[in-house]
Amino acid sequence: MATNKVLGYLESRKNLTGSACGIVGLALTFTGMAGPYWPAVVAGLYGAGALLAPPERPPLPDFPDPSAQLDELRDDFGKLRAYLTDIELPPAAAGRLTELTDLLTALLDPGWVSQVLAQDPEGIHALSRAVRQDIPEAVDTFVRTRWWTRLAPGVEPPERHLERQLAVLHSEAQTLATSLHEVEARRQESHTRYLEDRS
């Protein structure tokens, strides 16, 4: 640990700047300008250089890039789909869930769509929230609430809430898909303008 600190200081800006100034002090000594006080001149110039050197800049945190985030999200989506295969849902809710998972699959499949998505941090966040939180919570809440309705018949069926929740999530995913399409459409239009202006 101490060796690492010493090596770190030897490579630091403070030491390099101080050493450069110390060499100037040695040059003054050899030319006779420092006189008998040359050790103090060399040490003083080294210290001044070390004090004037810009501070070390800590390295930036190494956050995963968007494509790595999408890879993790695809893995989590695979886990979610495996979980959903074990859940028995009423036909209407199952249909809505299938529509939603099909749309999410299309958005997360590797290819040009996910390349566009990788440039949209808010879109990645929205998909991540849907996959890791909203869909599991909606389905799990339905499963737990369905059990309680057996004890209290006559209340609103929990599948209606599940259908509404899945409809909202599908709408959010569809909005994201539409915005990604608009990005590509704008890109195409701008390329058309570029070609026309070039002619």
Higher pLDDT, 134 or 12: 134
Instruction: Report residue 9 as tokens.
Output: 């200081």
**Assigned domain for 92 exists:** yes
DSSP state of 36: G
Among 8-22, 100-114, 132-146, the least confident range: 8-22
pLDDT value at residue 67: 74
Residues 95 and 13 in one domain: no
**Assigned domain for 61 exists:** no
> 134 falls in which pLDDT band (50, 70, 90)?
very high
Residues 41 and 89 in one domain: no
**Assigned domain for 170 exists:** yes
Residues 100 and 151 in one domain: yes
pLDDT value at residue 174: 94
pLDDT value at residue 47: 82
pLDDT value at residue 153: 67
Number of H helices, E strands in the chain: 9, 0
Residues 37 and 95 in one domain: no
**Assigned domain for 107 exists:** yes
pLDDT value at residue 115: 83
Residues 100 and 145 in one domain: yes
Domain of residue 10: give its range: 2-52
**Assigned domain for 134 exists:** yes
Residues 90 and 183 in one domain: yes
Residues 11 and 90 in one domain: no
Higher pLDDT, 39 or 136: 136
Residues 88 and 173 in one domain: yes
Instruction: Report residue 145 as tokens.
Output: 């609430």
Residue type, 132: R
31-90 tens-digit pLDDT: 777 778 778 877 887 888 788 777 777 777 776 676 778 889 999 999 999 999 988 888
Residues 76 and 171 in one domain: yes
**Assigned domain for 58 exists:** no
**Domain count along the chain:** 2
Has residue 10 got a pLDDT over 70? no
Residues 75 and 153 in one domain: yes
**Assigned domain for 39 exists:** yes
pTM of the model: 0.65
- CA-to-CA distance for 6 and 10, rounded, in angstroms? 6
Whole-number Cα distances in Å, 173 to 49, 55, 69, 94, 104: 58, 47, 18, 17, 7
The answer to whether 181 and 150 are in contact (CB under 8 A) is no
**Assigned domain for 130 exists:** yes
Residues 117 and 189 in one domain: yes
Residues 35 and 76 in one domain: no
137-191 tens-digit pLDDT: 999 999 888 877 766 666 677 889 999 999 999 999 999 989 988 888 888 888 8
